[in-house]
Amino acid sequence: METAANQDLIAAVRGGLRELANPQRAAGAQAYMKSAIPSLGVRVPDVRRIAARAAAEFPPASPGQLRATVLELWRTSTFREERYAAIDLTGIRLVAKDPDMLPVYVEIIRTGAWWDFVDGVAARICGLLQAHPVAVSATIRQWSRDPDFWMRRAAITSQLCAKGATDTTLLAAVIEPNLADREFFIRKAIGWALREYAKTDPGWVEAFVVRHGDAMNPLSRREALRRIAAWRAPQ
């Protein structure tokens, strides 16, 4: 039997968001995101605060209830901020290391199909990868070859928060099948992932870029080497 969603939590999130609705800001936010989904004009820090407050007031009874709540809020959302709040709820410690959250993130990535939603779950996926490296890395490798480029972007950005714990074999494995992709969001993700890891190991990133030479798109290469150029610059 499926666990029912926490309706009080969902109502608290929606009520809190509507209290802070700002029509003028909403119009600008919708235009910026190029979104068909309307915005309420609530700032992201306020969305996070509302989600955290609602979860504290109406805490999920179990991981299953949290998953059901996140998915119902996501699926029935009529404003972009409701989807942001659904993603914020996945940060609750109750499910921080729960591999059963992966299907939730897959649904968010596939149905959200835009960079703010996909990137919004990157840290959560990274946490699961650190908690379950063998199983989750195998899944991420599959994502890196998925026909859906948003799934491939999620694979590439899955270690943005890993720093010194980055699995460089996995990082290379998810980037290499996508080097020839002309999609902007893939090229940007490759550069972003490498630029972030360059904060930890610039030598590895530089060697990776050199090794792949002209196979790497100029945008990806430029982004990857941006911090290395600054690091090498005379002080």
Cα 40–46–47 angle (5° rounding)? Answer: 60
Closest listed residue to residue 148, CA positions, set 196, 101, 103, 112 = 112
State percent of the chain over pLDDT 70: 96
- Tell me the whole-structure pTM to 2 decimals: 0.94
Residues 106-112, mean pLDDT to the nearest whole number: 98
Query: Is pLDDT at 233 greater than 60 in this prediction?
Result: no
Query: Do the beta carbons of residue 51 and residue 17 sit within 8 Å?
Result: no
Alpha carbons 106 and 125: distance in angstroms, whole number: 10
Alpha carbons 154 and 146: distance in angstroms, whole number: 10
What DSSP string runs through 138-174? Answer: HHHHHHTT-SSHHHHHHHHTTTTTTGGG--HHHHHHH
Query: Is pLDDT at 160 greater than 50 in this prediction?
Result: yes
Query: Is pLDDT at 25 greater than 60 in this prediction?
Result: yes
pLDDT at 228: 85
Query: Do the beta carbons of residue 13 and residue 50 sit within 8 Å?
Result: yes
Q: Which two tokens stand for residue 174?
A: 């998810």
Residues 96-117, mean pLDDT to the nearest whole number: 97
pLDDT at 235: 46
pLDDT (tens digit per residue) in 34-44: 988 999 999 99
Average pLDDT along the chain: 95
Q: Rounded to an integer, what is the distance from CA 61 to the centroid of its chain?
A: 25
The set of residues, in sequence order, having a beta carbon less than 8 Å from that of 177 and lying 6+ positions away, is: 144, 145, 152
Residues 206-216, mean pLDDT to the nearest whole number: 94
Alpha carbons 171 and 106: distance in angstroms, whole number: 19
Q: Assign 231 a pLDDT band (cuts: 50, 70, 90).
A: low
Q: Assign 227 a pLDDT band (cuts: 50, 70, 90).
A: confident
pLDDT at 232: 63
What DSSP string runs through 65-88? Answer: HHHHHHHHHHHT--SHHHHHHHHH
Q: Rounded to an integer, what is the distance from CA 141 to the centroid of its chain?
A: 16
